[in-house]
Copies of this chain bind each other. A is one copy, B any other.
């Protein structure tokens, strides 16, 4: 018999409670014990909910109830989620969270407390929603040295880019449509500026390389500057534009986490991931590469991951099986992106091809219909970003577009 408290009765918290009762038989069979929700913590009351009698407003009710051994944190945001989760773990209660902001900011500390208190801190739902990615990386790929992780980590921006690609919409129009459909919030900053993807790549980076990567340390670019022209050139090159969260191990031993739009070639299965779907490609020395694809958000997809964590925590009762990663103190194991090598798509106005060839030598020029005279678009060879910028200032003209190419 395991008693669960659910913190936050919004979309994900509500889905979690519903799912526990909808598939109770299957869930209890997997867990090997009965599972019941004892408390739902929320500021609000829900008099019309069938679970109204479980709603409490004071975290101390949960903290002080020894019968509650499992906690699902579905509140979002760092505060007060951090205090609540910390309090639960300190009392030996295992926590499953869907809160990427919390994990990205406080993961190392919370994992350490879980280990000390012999309980578990799980966060499968914090990246990729329904997609199993945290546990597969931790368990199934444990025999690999991970070399890189790259993926589409935000469904809202992928929806917007899909509309721009398939229907030639402009960014502003596609964003409006996403808002109308409920995929984007009234203030879309966290999605379109890449902050949400940044939190997720922090989690994946920490998991893959064992040291906590903080969001402030990750160079992050959103999709607000992407134009239909860039998308046309991407097609001419043989791919599409996707917002990619990526991290790779460098030859110098450091890592480079990055969130930015990328040209993704059509042979890469990530290029065909459309609408609100997410996908994560993991490369390792033994597996070569494996990709995980599915719904990155939504009530039941996210709840599915939270409940899977609850089941695992129920099974692991009394043993700490969650991973740990170190809080390295500094972030000097992260390299400066401008020193790192990449291939780059560049679109210029008021420039000419001969100047481009003189500065960059071997480039691949791209074409689109009805390009105005003086517009030059091309893809560079692999070189350091700072060298690309230096060469660009030698070429002159105005930079209208500048997008990295994703390595396979």
Contacts and interface: CB of A to CB of B under 8 A. Distances in A.
B300 A289 contact: no
B289 A291 contact: no
A237 B70 CA distance: 50
Given A269-B269, A315-B321, A286 B130 contact: yes
A293 B315 contact: no
B308 A142 contact: yes
Contacts of A284: 304
Given A26-B142, A303-B143, A287 B130 contact: yes
Interface string A264-307: 00000100110000000000111111111111001011011101
A32 to B, nearest CB: 10
B142 A305 contact: no
Given A289-B294, A294-B289, A311 B142 contact: yes
Contacts of A315: 321
A325 B23 CA distance: 18
Given A269-B272, A272-B269, A285-B23, A290 B132 contact: yes
B304 A131 contact: no
Copies in the complex: 2
A141 B135 CA distance: 11
Interface in A115-153: 124, 130-132, 135-136, 139-145
Most buried by B among A269, A272, A287, A304: A287
Nearest to A210: B29
Interface in A313-329: 315, 321
A141 B273 CA distance: 21
Interface string A143-177: 11100000000000000000000000000000000
B286 A301 contact: yes
Contacts of A321: 315
A189 interface: no
7 contacts: A23-B145, A140-B305, A269-B273, A269-B293, A290-B292, A290-B295, A291-B294
Given A132-B139, A286-B307, A290-B293, 8 more contacts: A23-B145, A130-B288, A132-B132, A132-B136, A142-B308, A286-B300, A287-B294, A292-B293
